[in-house]
Amino acid sequence: MPVWLELVLRVAGVLVAFLVLPLIVGQTEHKVMAHMQGRLGPMYAGGFHGWAQLVADGLKFVQKEDVTPRDADRPVFRLAPAVALVPYLLALLVIPLGPGDLVGQPLDIGLFFVLAVVGIGVLAVLMSAWASANKYSLLGGLRGAAQLLGYELPLVLAAASVAMAAGTLSLPGIVEAWRPWWLLWQAPAMVIFFVAGLAEIRRPPFDMPVADSELVFGYMTEYTGLRFAFFLLAEYVGIVVIAALTTVLFLGGWQGPFADAQLGWLWTLLKVFAVAFVIIWLRVSYPRLREDQLQRLCWLVLVPLALAQLVLTAAVRLAL
């Protein structure tokens, strides 16, 4: 196969995953929340089980007027939703779906690359907050920056623990080095990574930057129409990326109970959607953390635990 054709197929596959998986997660969230909260509305659109609810939401956003505040910094205001989306697209390029060639672009430093590009998301928050010329947006942006910069540390430390255990920064290499007993040994790192990942994508109970009860909708207050939809899409892509990274780093990726490499992609997807379900369940079950509680959890709980896990991993590696 020519190199250019292989490149086109890989990029096309990543784009399909980028567009389809978040929509499936969004539809799942509609249904899971409807069942857990006894909400009847999402069960009616389209007839059977409200299958068209997501389509209705998409049409709603398309029909809404695209409004830019008069005093806004227009170029920055309009660019922010794209900046929120692009890092997750780049992250999906290096996350393996299965063994062999089932990855957009295998990198020897794939983990480093993913953590670096996911951290760019804070720029979208700051851009939208500052450019909106709105005090609620600015307050939400400041909260978001403090949250993202704080939780970046335990996220990186937890990922470093499993990379040290595997002896590589390659995401496929980490999956190949993974063993079932790591579920116990690296369990604290997995919990830390998962919680910090929730904070990084600003999902409840870590949604202080968009606290609608006090900040209207935070840094997204002034956004309407498709630009607001892009921010929501970025949130769902973020769920896919965090769930996929948790799967690849801590749950064995494509490794399943049967030694059949042909089904590796299926095991990966099943694990990703299981983790995504937990993210949705947490949104329904837990109230929003206050700002002081959120920062205290990061600096007094997650960071010390992540450092302790890193020391444990180093000790075990030296002993082995």
Q: Is residue 118 over pLDDT 80?
A: yes
Buried b (16+ CB within 10 A) or exposed e, 51-64: ebbbeebbeebeee
Q: Stretch 43-69: mean pLDDT, rounded?
A: 77
Indicate the pLDDT class of residue 259, thresholds 50, 70 and 90.
low
User: pLDDT digits over 58-95, tens only?
Assistant: 787 778 777 888 888 888 888 998 898 989 989 999 99
Question: What pLDDT score does 260 carry?
Answer: 65
Instruction: Kindly state the tokens that stand for 240.
Output: 């896919």
Q: Given this model, what pLDDT does residue 261 score?
A: 64
Q: What is the pTM of this model?
A: 0.91
Nearest CA-CA partner of 54 in 275, 236, 200, 223: 236
Count the alpha carbons within 13 Å of 312 in the hemisphere toward its beta carbon: 17
CA distance 269 to 254: 8
| Nearest-angstrom CA–CA distance, 88 and 85 | 6
Say which amino acid occupies 140.
G
